[in-house]
Amino acid sequence: MNARRTDLTQARTPRGFADRGAAELAATRAMADRIRETYELWGFEEVETPFFEYTDALGKFLPDQDRPNAGVFSLQDDDEQWMSLRYDLTAPLARHVAENFQKLAKPYRSYRFGPVFRNEKPGPGRFRQFLQFDADIVGAPSVSADAEMCMMMADALEAVGVKRGDYVIKVNNRKILDGVMEAIGLGGEENAGRRLTVLRAIDKLDRLGPDGVRALLGDGRKDESGDFTKGAGLDEAGAARVLSILEAKRSTNAETAEALAAEFAATPVGAKGATELKAIADLLAAAGYDGRVSVDPSVVRGLEYYTGPVYEAELTFQIAGDDGKPIQFGSVGGGGRYDGLVGRFMAENTPATGFSIGVSRLQAALRALKGETAEASTGPVVVLAFDRDRIGDSMALAARLRAAGIKAEAYLGGSGMKAQMKYADRRKSPCVVIQGSDERDKGEVTLKDLVEGAKAAAAIADRAEWTESRPAQVTVPEARLVEEVQAILARHR
């Protein structure tokens, strides 16, 4: 009967994708509910966009227009138009706003939650499908909107259980860096690539340190594996000037903003950036968010499209990993102002700012913080099946429990009683209902409390006593089924 079959299909998830079980889904749902409550409290409304967008709507931010599958998952519709799975929630929002511009009250405050897809190499804790939770304000040009975004991000983190002090929202302004780059001769369209290289170099500060960043700003850097990363090609003075931004951090937001204003107001754009940061610092102070939101010149974000304030949510607690070394969780979300994004779809330019929370990443961090306390949720009461032809009786008993609001199921498998008990055990069933012919003849049911029973069993060593004692088990009139089961459930609440 076991002839070797060679036609079996291999059961496997695609690389970088994962199935998620009940415990993890429950944790995700709980977290999403907290975030949702926070956003609604701030007056944001939910909107959902499809997983697919036309590739051109996702935009010029694709790494290579000629290869639509690089970075994103793309396919051609039957009319030959390219469509792509969304890689974030911001580009689809920009499209939605442009498409419904007349209908939306501006400033438009909205949030959305869902999976996004990236076609790149997966790593540990890094998947090709993951969840984001975004909030954006479209149509508010002032930095008060950016300040509000930072505050709401802080509220959201606290709502999901990150304690004050265990996180920090860092905020900076792109314009300061733009000013510096302009001053050292990196202005203009022709230097866009080098400006991006500078941004990416600064983004690596926490990992590579000042010397590593300096190398990336100059000629380039060779890492331990021998791979060479080309640098931005700045001269020594230029690199020093860029790095000096990072030293402007002071102990309070007001002082940092002032230091930046004093140092980097040489160009009009730099001055504007400093003024904006000062305004944000004032708003944060007035709202009581000092300390939770911190003005930090090292935040740049790797994205090209940000035009003003940028911010990043960082978890600051450390816990030891399996190898004893501390794990740094780092960034769990970020965002910024993208005044040009909606403008790709319509002549009217529309300012916008928003941020994204990496739900999967945040969830992983919280799980590590709290330990694997995914407390086993209680399963259903299981009504055992005695005679195959009396399954209707089991189902009727289960139905009575359900009518009383108790999770219950009749055992539908084909195994014997011992296996059925094991099944109930594995389902984390609090209690089983047994009705064989003995009970049925007398109009009774036997209930076994599995939680109590497990405790009693621990003390019993030999088989005879085990079978004899039948711990935590009662036989009651069938009419009292619901009350007695409720009593058992109440014991373990």
State the binding site.
88-90, 118, 132, 136, 301, 305-306
Residue 397 touches RNA, criterion: CB under 7 A:
no
Stretch in the footprint of RNA (CB under 7 A) among 85-93, 138-146, 179-187, 260-268: 85-93
**How far is Cα 470 from Cα 282, in angstroms, rounded to an integer?**
70
Q: Is 88 in the site for RNA (CB under 7 A)?
A: yes
Options 26, 75, 404, 457; binder of RNA; rule CB under 7 A: 457
Among 234, 248, 293, 472, binds RNA (CB under 7 A): 472
- Positions 89 through 108 that interact with RNA (CB under 7 A): 90-91
Report 315-374 residues binding RNA (CB under 7 A). Answer: none
**Residue among 207 and 370 whose Cβ is closer to RNA:** 207
Q: List b or e across 113-146, with b for residues whose CB sees 16 or more CB atoms inside 10 angstroms.
A: bbebbbbeeeeeeebbbbbbbbbbbbbbeebebb
Please give the backbone phi and psi of residue 79, each rounded to the nearest 5 degrees, phi first.
-100, 15
Alpha carbon of residue 15 to chain centroid: 20
Q: Give the residue, chosen from 381, 448, 484, 485, that forms a contact with RNA under the rule CB under 7 A.
A: 448
Outline where 249-345 has alpha helix (H).
Answer: 253-264, 268-287
**DSSP-based three-state secondary structure for 338:** coil
Nearer to RNA, 196 or 391 (CB): 196
Residues of the binding site for L-histidine: 88-90, 118, 132, 136, 301, 305-306
Piece of 277-285, 361-369, 388-396, 463-471 that binds RNA (CB under 7 A): 463-471
* Separation between Cα atoms, residue 247 and residue 262, nearest integer Å: 13
Please check whether residue 361 is in contact with residue 124, taking contact to mean a CB–CB distance below 8 angstroms: no
Any contact of residue 223 with RNA (CB under 7 A)?
yes
- Least distance (Å) from RNA to the CB of residue 351? 17
Q: Is 271 in the site for RNA (CB under 7 A)?
A: no
**CA–CA dist 140, 347 (Å, integer):** 17
If the CB atoms of residues 270 and 358 are measured against RNA, the closer one turns out to be 358
Q: Which residue type does 396 have?
A: A
Q: Report the nearest approach of RNA to the CB of residue 437 (Å).
A: 5
Q: Measured from the CB of residue 467, what is the shortest distance to RNA in angstroms?
A: 5
Structure tokens at 377: 């949720």
- Let me know: does 289 contact 165? Beta carbons within 8 Å: no
How far apart (Å, rounded) are the C-alpha atoms in residues 282 and 271? 17
Instruction: Pick the stretch among 132-140, 142-150, 271-279, 468-476 that binds RNA (CB under 7 A).
Output: 468-476
Specify the amino acid at residue 146. D
Q: Which of 195, 241, 301, 361 binds RNA (CB under 7 A)?
A: 301
**Which SS3 state, helix, strand or coil, does residue 208 take?**
helix
Least Å from the CB of residue 305 to RNA? 7
Please select the residue that binds RNA; options are 49, 229, 275, 486, rule is CB under 7 A.
Answer: 229
Region near RNA per CB under 7 A, out of 75-83, 250-258, 391-399, 460-468: 460-468
Residue 51 sits at φ, ψ, to 5 deg, of -70, -35
Q: How far is the CB of 37 from RNA (least distance, A)?
A: 26
Q: Mark 175-204 with x for binding to RNA (rule: CB under 7 A) and - for no binding.
A: ---------------------x---x---x
Asked if residue 161 binds RNA (CB under 7 A), the reply is no
CB of 470 vs RNA, minimal distance in Å: 5
Helices in 161-204 by DSSP H: which ranges? 174-183, 192-203
**One residue of 371, 372, 388, 418 binding RNA per CB under 7 A:** 418
Interface residue with RNA, options 205, 265, 417, 487 (CB under 7 A): 417
Chain residues 101-140 in contact with RNA, contact rule CB under 7 A: 118-124
Distance of closest approach, residue 483 Cβ to RNA, in angstroms? 20
What order do you get walking across the sheet with 408-410 strand by strand?
Answer: 408-410, 381-383, 431-434, 444-449, 473-477
Q: How many CB atoms lie within 10 A of CB 274?
A: 24
Which residue bears the tokens 């500078």? 198
Q: How many CA atoms lie within 13 A of 277 on its CB side?
A: 39
The phi, psi pair for 479, rounded to 5°, reads -65, -25
